[in-house]
Amino acid sequence: MQPIRVLIVDDSGFFRKRIHDLVAKDDRLIVVGSASNGREAVAKCKQLKPDVVTMDVEMPDMNGIDAVQIIMRDSPTSILMLSSLTRQGANITLKALEAGASDFLTKDIRNWTSTSNLVHNEFTERLVKLGRRRRFEQTSSDQSMSRPSLSRRPTPTSSPTHGRIGGPSVNDGISAQRAITAKGAMMNADNRKDDRSVLQSANHSGAAGSGQQTRAALAVRQAAGNTAAFPSQCRLVVIGASTGGPAALQKILSELPAQFPYPIILVQHMPKAFTNVFAARLNQQCSITVKEAEDGDNLRPGTAYLAPGGHQLVVDPRRPDRVRVLESDERVTYRPSVDITYASAAKALGNRVHAIILTGMGADGADGARLLKKAGATIWAQNKESCTIYGMPQAIVKSGLADEVLDLNAIGGLLSRAGRR
């Protein structure tokens, strides 16, 4: 396979060199050019046709937002935004993601100059994933055009549905994050149990029952259209997402009526400085109320509670109508973690939970979904065609835990109709 072609865009000579050096160490990647501002980036995207672009947010002459808008209009490609951990940086980054940028990474000088390989590996792994996704989109488009008799599944209405804030380490093999038990879901907020207790070995037999369906059966239901089953006993909707999640969440939530009859918990991988800004933007864009969750919040219908970055959000096992926001052990890979929230919901509400897993890199949510399925909950997964990165949904689908596999375009409408029953 040919290396992923990378264009580096940054007004800092230090960062351009640092990114170049990191990319040069990975045989899967190759630098095809660099630019010091957005205007140069637009021209070089047309000229060089990279698979992925690293884009600084704040630059002279033309900033990252304007550059993203023009690139996605004239020569669309995957774009990884690099942003400072400030409120202003969060606002600008969110606007860039809404304009079509694919992913996001914080520009913390301490991490970028560190000798640790963690941030470096995460950075290059994201470039590879996004570059391959771009090639997949191009191949799918070429095949569709060459075979007009084959209908192509609809993709999200934004162009494309990209956007991701913060996110997981790409070390999907971290054993602590790949295993989870109901014991961890019972984290007692009073004594602040170490949330690593959630990340222990799961009972894989919990996938038995209606969750173990063949991929063929799921494909039949997916092709059938808007017929996905919604649990009549539902009391809580829990949605997990990572890469591509901000745009996907915006699309789904903006389709819900103000009087949506269920509370919603949102777990989106993103850093602490961004969740409050993201919740405020969603609240402006949606009819339902969206807020960053606070410890002790009561779960109210028509309100979505976004897990704060750097913390864990759990459903209180003693009062299932309330959430707890817990300090997270820094050794836990995902902060917030879909697995931890799913597990707590399974313990507190069992089959009264409706879970949705959206686009994202890695497998966060798969083990929590196993506990949800064992408790009788219903699980929907986003399909590959509409995902920015088909990682988290794929892990659940391959484990036989998804009741439905749905295009992003269908999920909001299905939830809205279920809410009118």
Active-site residues, by number, are: 242, 269, 364
The rounded distance, in Å, linking the Cα atoms of 270 and 307 is: 9
The two tokens of residue 101 are 């940028």
Kind and range of the H or E run holding 378: strand 378-382
Does a cis peptide bond (omega within 30 degrees of 0) precede residue 160? yes
Alpha carbon 282 to chain centroid distance? 15
Total residues found in the chain within this entry: 421
CB neighbour class for 57 (10 Å; exposed up to 12, middle 13-18, buried from 19) = buried
The two tokens of residue 44 are 């070089």
For β-strands 323-327 and 311-315, DSSP reports them as antiparallel
Give the residue ranges of DSSP H helices in 208-337. Answer: 215-224, 245-253, 272-285
The rounded distance, in Å, linking the Cα atoms of 357 and 397 is: 10
Task: Return the SS3 of 373.
Answer: helix
65 closest CA partner among 86, 85, 45, 37: 37
CB neighbour class for 300 (10 Å; exposed up to 12, middle 13-18, buried from 19) = exposed
